[in-house]
Structure 1
Amino acid sequence: MKVGSVSRNTLAALGQAVLVSALMFLVYRVVVHSAGLEELGIWSLIMTGSTVARAADVSGAGGLGRFIAMIRAGTDIGSDIVETTHTVLFTSAAINLTIGTALYFLAPFVLRFALTPELLPRAIALLPFVVVIIVLGGLAGAVISGIDGTQRVDLRAMVAVSSAVVSFLIVLVLVPRIGIVGFGIAQILSPLVTIIAGWTVLHRQVPEIGWFPCRWQQKAFRVTTGFGLKLNGISLLNLLFEPLVKFSFGATGGASQVALYEIASRVITQIRGFAVAASMALIPVFASLQPHEQARRIVLLEKAVKATAYAAVAAAAAAILLAPIVSLIVLCKVSAPLLYMSVPLIFGWTMQLPTVPVYLAAQTDGRMRWNALSHILVAVAVIAGALLERAGFAETLLKSIVVGLLLSGLTVLVGNVPMLGLADMMKKSKNRLALAAVVIVLLCAASWVGVGVLAK
Structure 2
Amino acid sequence: MKAGSLSRNTLAALGQAVVVSVLMFLVYRVVVRSSGLEELGVWSLIMTGSTVARAGDVSGAGGLGRFIAMIRAGTDIGSDIVETTHTVLLTSAAINLTIGIALYFLAPFALRFALTPELLPRAIELLPFVVAIIVLGGLAGAVISGIDGTQRVDLRAMVAVSSAVVSFLIVLVLVPRIGIVGFGIAQVVSPLFTMIVGWTVLRRQVPEIGWFPRRWHRMAFRASTGFGLKLNGISLLTLLFEPLVKFSFGATGGASQVALYELASRAITQIRGLAVAASMALIPVLASLQSREQARRTALLVKAVNTTAYAAVAAAAAAIVLAPIVSFIVLGKVSAALLYMSVPLIFAWTMQLPTVPVYLAAQTDGRMRWNALSHLLVAVAVIAGALLEHVGIAGALLTSIVVGLLLSGITVLAGNVPMLGLSEVMRQSRSRLALTAVMIVSICAAGWVGVGVLAE
The TM-score, its normalising length taken from structure 1, stands at 1.00
- Whether the aligned pair in 1 keeps the contact of 2:298 and 2:424 (CA below 8 Å) is no
- The match for 1:120 is 120
Displacement, 1:89?
Answer: 0.4
Report the counterpart of residue 41 of structure 2 in structure 1: 41
- Specify the code of the residue in structure 2 equivalent to 1:112: R
Match of 2:79 in 1: 79
- Cα displacement (A) at 1:28: 0.1
Output one character per residue of 1:46-88: Cα deviation in whole Å (capped at 9) or x when no partner. 0000000001100000000000000000111110000000000
Specify the alignment match of 1:265 in structure 2: 265
Gaps of 5+ in 1: none
Q: Which position in structure 2 is the counterpart of 1:327? A: 327
SS at match of 2:155: helix
Cross-structure match for 2:132:
132
**Counterpart position of 1:206:** 206
Distance in 2 between residues matched to 1:351 and 1:81, nearest whole Å: 38
Aligned structure 1 segments of 4 or more residues deviating by more than 3 angstroms: none
| Structure-1 residue corresponding to 2:155 | 155
| Distance in 1 (alpha carbons) for counterparts of 2:211 and 2:11 | 29
Tell me the distance in 2 between the aligned counterparts of 1:337 and 1:298. Answer: 44
User: CA offset at residue 171 of structure 1?
Assistant: 0.2
Partner of 2:403: 403
> What's the offset of the Cα at 1:3?
4.0
Q: Which residue of 2 aligns with 1:196?
A: 196
Question: Quick check: 2:143–2:202 contact (8 Å CA) kept in 1?
Answer: yes
SS in 2 for 1:76: coil
Distance 1:120 1:425 in 2: 51
Aligned to 1:444: 444
Aligned pairs for 1:27-66 within 5 A: 27-66=27-66
CA contact (8 A) 2:60 2:88 kept: yes
Cα drift, residue 2 of structure 1: 3.2
Q: What is the CA–CA distance in structure 1 between the aligned matches of 2:299 and 2:2, rounded to whole Å?
A: 14
How far did residue 311 of structure 1 move? 0.3
Q: Does 1:281 align with 2:285?
A: no
Normalization by structure 2: what TM-score? 1.00
> Aligned partners of 2:8 and 2:321: how far apart in 1?
28
Matching residue of 2:304? 304
Q: Is the partner of 1:292 in helix, strand or coil?
A: coil
CA distance in 1 between partners of 2:202 and 2:123 (Å): 37
Write out aligned runs for 1:86-105 (5 A).
Answer: 86-105=86-105
Between the two proteins, what is the percent identity of the paired residues? 86
What amino acid is aligned across from residue 119 of structure 1 in structure 2?
L
Which residue pairs with 2:414 in the alignment?
A: 414
CA RMSD of aligned residues (A): 0.5
Number of equivalences: 456
The reply to whether residue 10 of structure 1 matches residue 10 of structure 2 is yes
Q: C-alpha displacement at 1:214, in angstroms?
A: 1.1
CA drift at 1:117:
1.0
Asked whether the equivalents of residues 316 and 444 of structure 2 are also in contact (C-alpha less than 8 Å), the reply is yes
> In structure 2, how many angstroms separate the alpha carbons of the residues matched to 1:88 and 1:347?
37
* One-letter amino acid matched to 1:92: S
> What secondary structure is seen at the aligned counterpart in 2 of 1:116?
coil
Is 1:427 the counterpart of 2:427? The answer is yes
Q: CA separation in 2, counterparts of 1:425 and 1:449?
A: 36
For structure 2, the 5+ residue unaligned runs are none
Deviation at 1:130, TM superposition (A): 0.4
Letter of the 2:332 partner, please give it: C
Which one is further off, 119-128 or 342-351?
119-128
